[in-house]
Amino acid sequence: MAYLEPSAPQGPAPYRASSPSRGTWLAMANEIEPEVARYFLVSARCGCFMQAARSLNIKATLLRKRLAQLEVQLRQVLFSYQGNGLMLTRDGQQLQAQLIALAHERRLPVVEQPLIRLAVAEPILHDILGRDLIALLRRNASVRLEIISIDSQLALQSVDVDVVLWLSDADGPVPGPNFPTEPPQVLARLQYLPHIAKRYSRLTTRPDSLEDLADYMLVQWQPDAQVDALQPWNSVVQQRLAAVVHVHAYSLMLEMIRCGACIGLLPHYMSSFDRGLVALPGVLAQNMQRQVWLAVNAQVRHAEAVQMIVELIVSTFEGRREWFD
């Protein structure tokens, strides 16, 4: 945003050389559109146009344009840069004081954002969706979002949310959530394979049969132990009398594979998510597959906000289509 000095020519509406009186400031503050007044106050509070735009859920270019128009309207310089920081000028401070006083006088309420509840299978949240959710929050700091991690079928059955993303063992969405939903859609089919860290296994010595696993420690994410579709792997783990570790945190299982020289069962996209991991397709002869399903609660109250989350999820999976093909 290019701010002009007060003496710079501005055509028919040059900036004033002197500050208006307090009464004049009050009159000018009353004439400012409520939306523009909010843009100014948030920018003054944040001291950063980018952060203010995130809080307001608008583009930074639009925010700077509206504030530049406000300066032209008032014929005053309101902001200035001091080093790397955005500061209010003396006139900006006068305007801020009057707008705050008016806000208290009018008792303007905070604009309440709808609370959206999202439940996601733990591996999908960690591996696929987490980064895009963080990017959403970077763009829109006013969002109210509750994210619930699903690590088991019991957890899926106990939630009542607006949007749910879960894993099924068959070619259909059953078993799914307990609450009524719109028709669910399948987003991806996942193949499961044992994985090992490249750093702990050279290409020529990687295990390629069930017997080769005897030389390695296995790690099992406990929620997977109850999944019928993963029974071939679960049977191998259950038969182990030594060299096996059971963990209840998905992220810890990944660290055991990355840094603990363990072999664990992961979706086949994992080598795309983490280039340091490699699949072992020849170890188990049986095929292990699951599907990723998305559904929206049939009784959502904030359809527009929910649709934003749904579009984000679908876009994320489309953008990673090569992971699943």
Kindly report, residue by residue over 80-123, the tens digit of the pLDDT: 988 778 899 998 898 888 888 877 655 555 567 889 999 999 99
CATH topology of domain 22-106: Arc Repressor Mutant, subunit A (1.10.10)
Residue 321 three-state SS: helix
**pLDDT above 90 for 20:** no
Question: What's the mean pLDDT in 163-186?
Answer: 92
* Contact of 153 with 290, CB cutoff 8 Å: no
Q: Amino acid letter at 25?
A: W
Give Cα separations from 111 to 23, 35, 225, 228 (angstroms): 29, 12, 46, 47
Domain ranges of the chain: 22-106, 115-324
Tens digits of residue pLDDT in 180-207: 999 999 999 999 999 999 988 777 678 8
Q: pLDDT-based confidence at 310, cuts 50/70/90?
A: very high
Tens digits of residue pLDDT in 44-92: 988 888 888 888 888 899 999 999 999 999 888 999 988 778 899 998 8
**Closest Cα to residue 134, out of 126, 210, 211?**
126
Residue 58, judged by CB atoms within 10 A of its CB (0-12, 13-18, 19+), counts as middle
Tens digits of residue pLDDT in 128-148: 999 999 888 887 777 889 999
Distance CA 234, CA 239 (A): 9
Give Cα separations from 57 to 41, 53, 105 (angstroms): 15, 6, 26
Q: pLDDT-based confidence at 222, cuts 50/70/90?
A: very high
Question: What's the mean pLDDT in 282-304?
Answer: 92
Q: What is the pTM of this model?
A: 0.70
**pLDDT above 60 for 223:** yes
CATH code matching the domain that covers 115-324, chosen among 3.40.190.290, 3.40.50.300, 1.20.1250.20, 3.40.228.10: 3.40.190.290
> What are 68's two structure tokens?
């530049």
Q: Percent of the chain, pLDDT > 70?
A: 90
Pairing of β 185-197 and β 262-267 = antiparallel
Kindly tell me the number of DSSP H helices and DSSP E strands found in the chain: 13, 11
Q: What pLDDT was estimated at residue 56?
A: 85
